[in-house]
Amino acid sequence: MAFAIIIEIPGGTLDQYDRMSEAMHFKGDGRASPGMIAHFAGLAGDTLVVVDVWESREAYESHLAEIGEEGREAVRKVGLPPYTHREFEVYNIVK
């Protein structure tokens, strides 16, 4: 079953998002990570919001394992503020 995660980063900026994305090597080439259905990012007021939809929770967990410490270090380097996230199984997708 498809799986989604919504990350909300109060005080996060698009510049921080861009720098993190470049450090993680997924900015600008238009390619999604294996198992990723969609990725969205934008501002809602002063909160950076990132939404990912994955083919399954396993695909998401595989992605996390793949980016490993490099991904966590990229987040630390750009100084993203503390954030919260929500996860859910996707019931319906319309394309």
Domain positions in the chain: 3-89
| 55-81 tens-digit pLDDT | 999 999 998 888 888 877 877 888 888
Architecture of domain 3-89: 2-Layer Sandwich (3.30)
Tokens of 19: 């720098």
| 43-60 tens-digit pLDDT | 999 999 999 999 999 999
Strands (E), 1-60: 3-10, 36-44, 47-54
Q: Name the pLDDT band for 20 (thresholds 50, 70, 90).
A: confident
- Radius of gyration over every alpha carbon of the chain, rounded to an integer in angstroms: 13
- What mean pLDDT comes out for the span 81-88? 94
Mean of per-residue pLDDT scores for the chain: 89
What is the pLDDT at residue 14? Answer: 96
